[in-house]
Structure 1
Amino acid sequence: MGKVPEINSEIRFAIVVLHNEGKSERAIASQLKLSKTCVHNAIIRYKETNSNQDRPRSGRPRATTSSEDHFIVVTSKRNRRQTAPEIRAELNKSRSKPVSLTTVKRRLRDANLFGRVAARKPLCIEGSHRLGHKEGLQEVGTAAPPGQEPRSRGC
């Protein structure tokens, strides 16, 4: 049988109140539409801990410490062109257990640093830009010396 969702602390509190009023576990289960096992476990847990709160869970430990997270962010901000694999290589030099590339990318994303490629400058259409530039120079009166073509500054 699959796992069922946990009951919250308010429902556990209601179970304890009904139990203290003298109702049986079976009556509480039918009234709150829960299983008898769920009601029983909630009562036992309350008797052991005197609390309706969830117990702390271990969870998966983080791969990096907060100082290493800070190092990743600062390294990226100092050199914006540095890639995540380069940051990972630099971080792994000082660690005994290597950090994955995904972890580095996740830490950067958490700091609102996203990898982007710069927009390319629009290409000049051959001839049209230079012609316009020459015409502009001649209008202003700063044409190139005889025999030389004015230099283009754009492309």
Structure 2
Amino acid sequence: MPRRKELSEDLQSRIVDLHEAGKGYKSISKSLDVHVSTVRQTVYKWRKFSTFATLPRRGRPVKMTARAQRRMLNEVKKNPRVSAKDLQKSLAHANIFVDTSTIRKTLNKNGVHGRTSRRKPLLSKKNIAAHRLSTNGESSA
């Protein structure tokens, strides 16, 4: 099941108040319509950090927002031959400053890969004639 948005501070404080009043995790869960593990995690966070505020997470925050990704993908759909440099410039107009490698990684994650089609030799007159024969139901062998 996908993760949901964080609980409001009001709801978190009600969870902690009910727990301090002696209620169990299951009864709090049923009364507030919140998952039991969420109740347990909220109480744990209150005991350990004495706060409901969102604490800093590990790792570097992403620079490419979901809106920026959609904007970039729409540009690529309009013009599939657009370069990463051009996308970087268009994103800079929207005050999103990212490196070209970030743009390429984001496009790759969304299934857009920078590949060129294979060069195929033109058919010779001999091959065209053989193809016509084989499509008419006759075998050329």
Q: Structure 2-normalised TM-score?
A: 0.46
> Which of structures 1 and 2 has the bigger CA Rg?
1
Question: TM-score scaled to structure 1, two decimals?
Answer: 0.43
